[in-house]
Amino acid sequence: MSNQQLSFVFVVKKGFMAGKSRIKVDFDKIYESNSCGPFKIIQDLGRDERSRLFVRVKFINTGTEKDVRYDIAMDGKVMDELFGVDFNKIYNSKYYGPYKIIAYIGRNHDSRKIVRIKFLDTGYEYNTALQSAINGDVKDHTVDYHDRVIYSYNENDYNDIIISILKERWKGMMDRCYNSECSSFYKYGKIGVKVCDRWLDANNYISDMPLLKNYDKFYVNPQMYQIDKDFLQFNVPKNERIYSPETCLFLSLVDNANLSIKMNHKEQYYGVRNNSNGTFSVIFSTEGQKRTYGTYNNYIAALNEYNYYYLQYANFELIPLLNEGMELMDHEEALKYLVH
């Protein structure tokens, strides 16, 4: 079965009962679902311990297979996870050229459908939300934004584009800090995060941007870089942090995602989650998703393992976010404390 035809199997704890179902299942008939197109029943799975008959259905348009109760199938109440996904279609991104959806990955922790896409010009692949893939809101991280954006805008207008983006960033910063109706206000203004007096004026904010570290990288790829206040104020309590020329720099989306991962109670260290059962999980973000790289029953081992795996697997852009000033432990020794 191909990646495009993933099987979503319903598992019953004690399995299905052997024997005939006593219902004649029509394997030749084409049924119509309520919202996801036609399907056929391809297998009689028998009954579970509560005598409910289960069947395997296959959606004709996508090839997706799914195990469901027979009565639900007869009512057409079956859902195709790949409904609306066209694996043969060539989509066009806004700035990064054509791409195809090549596989369905599943649902993430927010229940969003995740697919894998492949850019036809470069061959670059990554996972993104299905809706973003359909809308063209995707990015080829191997290509500079500047190289792509001039396809849609005259070169002479590029500075105007940068200024427009910075105006949007300024408004977002002000909303987070001072607009109680903003969805992010509770993490910023409500706890005390402020904007310096100089940056209350948007013109000052924009004129100061070229002075910030990594502005040159933002300039050629603005969609991949954010203005960050946390890296330079990591040891400052969150409620005392401020947006200012002295406390901000540009960080890539990847770096910023790793910086924002919730840390252990010892704030000077990165990427180790203190679990309620007394263990410590190593976690960082790569390709837009948070991943766990082992759980340990020793805190020092977890800190060292974060450094070990982060350097190997994190696609950080500018600043390796590493734990320093701790007791050193090599990889082989740290593995002795691995729980799972």
Q: Are residues 132 and 159 in the same domain?
A: no
Query: Quick check: is 180 in a domain?
Result: yes
More confident residue, 295 or 83: 295
Domain's final residue, options 47, 74, 101: 74
Q: At 11, is the pLDDT very low, low, confident or very high (cuts 50, 70, 90)?
A: very low
First vs last C-alpha separation in the chain = 30
pLDDT exceeds cutoff 50 at 206: yes
154-170 pLDDT per residue, tens: 556 778 888 888 999 99
Q: Are residues 171 and 236 in the same domain?
A: yes
Q: Are residues 247 and 265 in the same domain?
A: no
The helix (H) or strand (E) run that includes residue 131 is helix 130-135
Query: Quick check: is 171 in a domain?
Result: yes
Query: Quick check: is 131 in a domain?
Result: yes
Token reading at 227: 């203005």
Give CA–CA dist 24/173, Å, rounded: 64
Token reading at 4: 């495009």
Give the pLDDT of residue 17: 52
What residues make up the domain containing 15?
Answer: 3-74
Q: Are residues 320 and 247 in the same domain?
A: no
Q: Are residues 243 and 294 in the same domain?
A: no
Q: Are residues 160 and 247 in the same domain?
A: yes
Give the pLDDT of residue 6: 44
Q: Are residues 67 and 11 in the same domain?
A: yes
Query: Quick check: is 148 in a domain?
Result: no
Return the SS3 of 195.
strand
Give the pLDDT of residue 9: 42
* Percent of the residues in the chain that have a pLDDT greater than 70, as a whole number: 81
CATH number at residue 273: 3.30.730
Long-range residue pairs from 199-202, CB within 8 A, at least 24 positions apart, any chain = 199/170, 199/173, 199/243, 199/244, 199/245, 200/174, 202/167, 202/170, 202/171
Number of Cα atoms under 13 Å in the Cβ half of residue 240:
6
Strands 272-274 and 280-286 turn out to be antiparallel
- Give Cβ neighbours of residue 84 (< 8 Å, ≥ 6 apart): 134
Q: Are residues 211 and 239 in the same domain?
A: yes
Query: Quick check: is 24 in a domain?
Result: yes
Compute the mean pLDDT over every residue in the chain, rounded to the nearest whole number: 82
Closest Cα partner for 309 from 287, 326, 286?
286
Give CA–CA dist 205/212, Å, rounded: 11
Q: Are residues 239 and 267 in the same domain?
A: no
Give CA–CA dist 138/136, Å, rounded: 6
Q: What is the number of structural domains in the chain?
A: 4
Q: Are residues 119 and 70 in the same domain?
A: no
Give CA–CA dist 143/54, Å, rounded: 48
Domain's final residue, options 232, 251, 270: 251
Query: What are the percentages of helix, strand and coil residues in the chain, rounded to 5?
Result: 30, 25, 45
Please identify which residue in the block is written with the tokens 């310096």: 196
More confident residue, 106 or 250: 250
Token reading at 214: 């990594």
Query: Quick check: is 222 in a domain?
Result: yes
Query: Quick check: is 234 in a domain?
Result: yes
pLDDT exceeds cutoff 90 at 298: yes
Q: Are residues 241 and 277 in the same domain?
A: no
Domain's final residue, options 28, 45, 74: 74
Task: Check if the beta carbon of residue 202 is closer than 8 Å to that of residue 224.
Answer: no
Q: Are residues 244 and 273 in the same domain?
A: no
Give the pLDDT of residue 264: 44
Give CA–CA dist 313/180, Å, rounded: 38
Query: Quick check: is 82 in a domain?
Result: no
